[in-house]
Amino acid sequence: MAVWLSEEQVLISSEVIKSSGVQFGTSGARGLVEQFTTDTCAAFTHAFLSGLQDRFSFRQVAVAIDNRPSSPMMAKSVVGAIKQLGMEVLYYGVIPTPALAYSAMQDGIPCIMVTGSHIPFDRNGLKFYRPDGEISKADEQAILTANVQFASILELPELNMCSSAAEKYANRYTSLFNDDMLSDKRIGIYEHSSAGRDIYSTLFESLGAEVISLERSDEFVPIDTEAVSDADKAKAKIWSVEHKLDFIFSTDGDGDRPLVADENGDWLRGDILGLLCAQEMRIEALAIPVSCNTIIEKSKTFKAVSKTKIGSPYVIAEFDILSEKYTRIAGFEANGGFLLGADIEVNGKALKGLPTRDAVLPALMLLSAAKNITIANLVSDLPQRFSHSDRIQNFATEKSLAILAHGIDAPETLIKSLGFDESVVDVDITDGLRMTLTSGVIVHLRPSGNAPELRCYAEADTMQQASDIVLSVLDKVKNLDIVLW
């Protein structure tokens, strides 16, 4: 039913979004909490849903949140906008992003996740899913530029929660394995403020594991699975010994990026976890971001490995190309999030494709691969090439871009400014600036798409060398005088 608005009541979605300062990053719209006003959340919601109505038929929209203190209020704004359109809302409360996406895809409806993933609690974001999966970069631009008219929400609705999405998500994985698969395992769940912390223990226990809950937090903890803190590295070592653990499982804030540790309490790099998962699943073709370890593309396990820009939309876009030749396709990112690009069979049972980052699948497939061997040995049996990453927080994006521009024009000058006494033999600007040196060392600089941060990735022949390179490069970057260039 059309609602007629007086001229002073009309808001235009593109104008509200532009004035808010919120933009899309590598995954979702991100910004400071104060930028996500009721009008901003409503503008994004109206713009997103209006762009779907010519392509899909739906009368319901699913919504969920992470554990950030700002998320419930943002969800109310999103739900209010959906109700303005006369649509029914399925509100699932705090659940992982992949749980929301999977449930919505099975129901053939769009969904919106209120989450800032791993970024600090003073920021938040929105992730959008069409009925057929995660939105594309073209969809993002359409949302930003849509001129949808709507009215301010004068009274925020109450949120009435249902639980079916969490149940569907857990059953998706427990149905693949015998209920005693983990009967000899002691698994620690580093719960912190993860959106999936109320699901994981039951899921692992249903497969026979003894589960120990670790460090649940009532305050939001911004876990970055690509830049594990020294404190978390030390905790995992202590927990592993103290509780005699075979495995530690955790995720980032919205549960789409895994963080797993072996029997020794050593956290695995996300791309190594993805590699082991893909091997166990007998994946034929992979799409992975350029930041992933080079042993993956050199592996003889896969028939094809495509390298993309960083961000799940780019990985997903590559699935369309790979699916022309291959049936078992997947992708993963250096942060560990695993994307299943097609329906396949696992253990003789059907597993529906889920083309969005997921944390549970790679963890379970790693445990499946480690039935007769330790996880540490699985990792050590791989070619010994190591990658590491970290970031400078609160680093102006303008300065990051200036450093990259200088490096693209004069890579030799930049690499010497960063302390290396060797030449650059290859420059890759697929995403950021990725320089391969004469020694085989790789140094990759990239501004974050979600926050004012500069990330450095390094690849070398030892973990210590890769770690030292990242530490040294980031330290020198802070003191680069870009004004003189």
Active site residues: 117
Q: What's the rounded Cα separation, in Å, for the pair 428 and 449?
A: 18
Number of helical H runs and strand E runs in the chain: 16, 25
Tokens of 225: 């699975």
- Cα atoms in the Cβ-side hemisphere of radius 13 Å centred on 360: 27
CB 130 within 8 A of CB 52: yes
Q: Work out the end-to-end distance of the chain between its first and last CA atoms, rounded to an integer number of angstroms.
A: 60
Beta carbons within 10 angstroms of residue 175's beta carbon: 12
Q: How far is CA 379 from the centre of its chain?
A: 22
Radius of gyration of the chain (CA): 22
Would you list the DSSP string of 60-72? EEEEEE-S-TTHH
Cα 375 to chain centroid distance, Å, stands at 23
- Residues 76 and 166: their CA atoms lie apart, in Å, by 20
Structure tokens at 81: 């906008």
Phi and psi, residue 287, nearest 5°? -120, 125
Residue 253's SS3 state is coil
53 burial (CB, 10 Å; 0-12 / 13-18 / 19+) is exposed
